[in-house]
Homo-oligomer: A and B are copies of this chain.
Amino acid sequence: MVAPRVYEALSQPVVGHLDPFFFEISDQVRRLIGHVYSTENDFNLAISGTGSAGMEAAVSNFAEPGRKFALLTNGFFADRIGEMARRQGAEVVRLAKPWGEPFDPQEAREFIRRERPRVAAFVQAETSTGMFNQAKAICEAAREVDALTIADCVTSLGAMPVLVDDNGIDVAYSCTQKGLSCPPGLAPMTVSPRALERLKARPAPPPSWYLDLLLLDTYYVGRKYHHTASATLLYALREGLALAAEEGLENRWERHRRNHLAFVAGIEAMGLRMHVPEGHRLWTLNTPRVPEGVSDALARQYLLEKRGIEIAGGFGPLAGKVFRIGLMGHGSTGKNVLLVLEGLESALRDQGYEPAGDGRAAAEKALAVSA
């Protein structure tokens, strides 16, 4: 869901990509990106592409042909990072868990110490499973062996504590359409000074000219033409980032946490179970398991057609097994929690499934307690 102020920003007059006003906006965006990532990094920018372009920018600038690229994977998007790294010619080594199962910090540490990679990549907020992966152990071990870390923050930025500096993440990327409630089209990114040094020492430039971070720096900082960035999308992102800053990051995280907990209370009252173990769940994307005998496709169709609510299904090993229900950014409200629980209850009843108890009432109670 896009905030009304962001919609308004979208129709502001377009200016040229080298206009002084354009750079005023892009400078504000760069500072605000640093703010939501909780980092002192100077090198913040919005890649002119979607979150997947952010992933490719991170991978193609830091993966190197023939060099070891360590991947901690427990979901679809981590596997995609691996696919991208292989296309860059990197030697990908994996620590793999079933989708939605957490890494043991000690196991993660040992994997990195053993492999001594150039880069270690992981997904902080795994959109395919609803899982939050802890960064700290990975980043600490990576520093021990002089590896850089790449974190996918697509479903955490602006909604959960990404904490780039506290965690010691070197390269983080995200999208605009989730925690920041903007339309998709840009990928906010931050790069540590350490990663920047590595980049400058790279023996050959990355295969991608469009996503070459050093060239992008000569544009956004050096004011030298590279490509024609979309003023329109930057207006929207500035507004989305400003909304996050105005609310206060801690308040925003707490709002997401509260609404997530209320949703889970409702789900469990109905007799459903969450796929991801407690303490490892995203506050932005909830993945209740689809009860036995229920078709997730029919339930999603019901919600879209009868209630105008779009939720996603599981895929890969989780196809048909989980719902993926986003409550994030502007859309993370108590009202939406109740709306989707009520809708889900109807959708399940429509297929003859009888909930164990009143999900809406349980969520209302949780919201009242935390308010």
Contacts and interface: CB of A to CB of B under 8 A. Distances in A.
A340 to B, nearest CB: 15
Interface in A257-307: none
A152 to B, nearest CB: 13
Given A185-B48, A210-B53, A14 B80 contact: no
Interface stretch (A113-121, A225-233, A362-370): A225-233
A19 interface: yes
A335 B264 CA distance: 61
Interface residues of A, number: 52
A44 interface: no
Interface in A312-338: 312, 315
Contacts of A18: 312
A183 interface: yes
Interface stretch (A66-74, A83-91, A92-100, A346-354): A83-91
Nearest to A83: B209
A208 B211 CA distance: 10
Contact of A11 (B8, B14, B229): B8
Please give the count of copies of this chain that the complex contains: 2
A179 interface: no
A185 B14 contact: no
B227 A50 contact: yes
Contact of A51 (B2, B19, B53, B228): B228
Contacts of A53: 48-49, 210, 227
A26 interface: no
Given A53-B48, A210-B52, A229 B184 contact: yes
A16 interface: yes
A17 interface: yes
B209 A84 contact: yes
A224 to B, nearest CB: 10
A64 interface: no
B48 A14 contact: no
A157 interface: no
Given A48-B53, A50-B230, A14 B183 contact: yes
A205 interface: yes
A14 B177 contact: yes
Given A49-B53, A87-B205, A310 B19 contact: yes
Contacts of A177: 14, 228
A116 to B, nearest CB: 25
Contacts of A233: 183, 185, 230, 232-233
- Pick from A50, A83, A89, A231 the residue with the most CB of B within 10 Å: A50
A10 B50 contact: no
A207 interface: yes
Interface in A194-227: 205-211, 225-227
Given A52-B228, A185-B185, 9 more contacts: A19-B310, A50-B230, A52-B209, A183-B231, A184-B229, A184-B231, A207-B208, A208-B208, A225-B315
Interface of A: 2, 7-8, 10-11, 13-19, 48-53, 55-56, 60, 80, 83-84, 87-89, 175, 177, 183-185, 205-211, 225-233, 236, 310, 312, 315
23 contacts: A8-B11, A10-B10, A10-B232, A11-B11, A14-B183, A15-B310, A17-B184, A48-B53, A50-B227, A51-B227, A51-B228, A52-B209, A53-B227, A87-B205, A88-B207, A183-B233, A184-B231, A185-B185, A185-B230, A185-B232, A185-B233, A207-B207, A232-B233
